[in-house]
Amino acid sequence: MRDVIVLGGSSGEYLAYRVAKILNVDFGEIEVKKFPDGETYIRILSDVSGKRVIYINSLQRGPNDLIIETFYTVDTLKDLGAKEVHLVVPYMAYARQDERFNPGEAVSILSLAKLFKLLDVDSIYTIDMHLHRITDPVKVFGAKFYNLTGVRELGKYVKKHYSIENTVVIGPDEEAEQWAKIMAEELGDLEYSVLEKKRISAEEVVIEAKDVNVEGKNIIIVDDIISTGGTIIEAVKALRKLGARDIIVTCVHPLLVGKAYNKLVKLGLLDIIGTDTVLSPISKVTVAPVIANALKQKL
């Protein structure tokens, strides 16, 4: 793969370096800065003419600026004569804005998909895009789109550092069942379930684990995103009421907005583990091997 070069945007350089190292290919350089009026300046410092370029940028903090940076960079790579361009967006922002909930709202993920389609790249990769109303992102982004998972890497980390005896995997809500299933498989086909709310009356709601007993069991909670932490906090409280013992919380995208990290720490969990699709105090697991392995099959 002598003609392959990996480049990282301002929010993806750390992953680009790790991927380049795994693939044993060149790690290039891009200059990104802001003009005094707030406009974005992009300069590709590495020679990309005739090369197969992997460009990595995560939409993790300040997604609006990063979308523009990504768009300008990829368009410039094509203009400079790159033979192929493979775009990697480890965290895909706006995926939760997948429906018009109120009249006049933008369905932001559909607009973002249209923008990326204009770039006409050779492939687009992301990690665990939030899937709720959009169940198949290929229908939105096109056939060149690949939705990878970082959950197996989280599972490997848990298995390496903790005993999984007497353990149940839990998704904090029904949307998280897809990730709970993957985690359970990675840990040797453990039992898994999701929490669900049952309304007893207008004032009373009961949260319970569906189809599995968690009393006296150790728990691994898995979700795609932790934003404010509200869902996880309620899940931990519910599981403890149901008699759960030690609890490990895992997630792919640890956004940890506001004081979410402090709130999670105060729960007295056995561990809190996230990946590096979003850099945070709990980003203990890298998704670089996931990205590199997928690209090996494409390049």
Residues acting as catalytic residues: 197
Q: Which of 90, 67, 9 lies closest to 254, judged by CA?
A: 90
Classify residue 299 by burial, with Cβ atoms within 10 Å: 0-12, 13-18, 19+. middle
Q: Are 268 and 248 in contact (CB under 8 A)?
A: no
Residue 179 to residue 164: CA distance in whole angstroms = 17
The CB density around residue 245, as the number of other CB atoms within 10 Å, is 15
Q: Which tokens belong to 147?
A: 């939705």
Q: Which amino acid is at 172?
A: P
Residue 263 to residue 255: CA distance in whole angstroms = 13
Tell me if residue 150 falls in helix, strand or coil: coil
DSSP 164: -
Q: Which tokens belong to 137?
A: 């992102």
Residue 175 to residue 251: CA distance in whole angstroms = 13
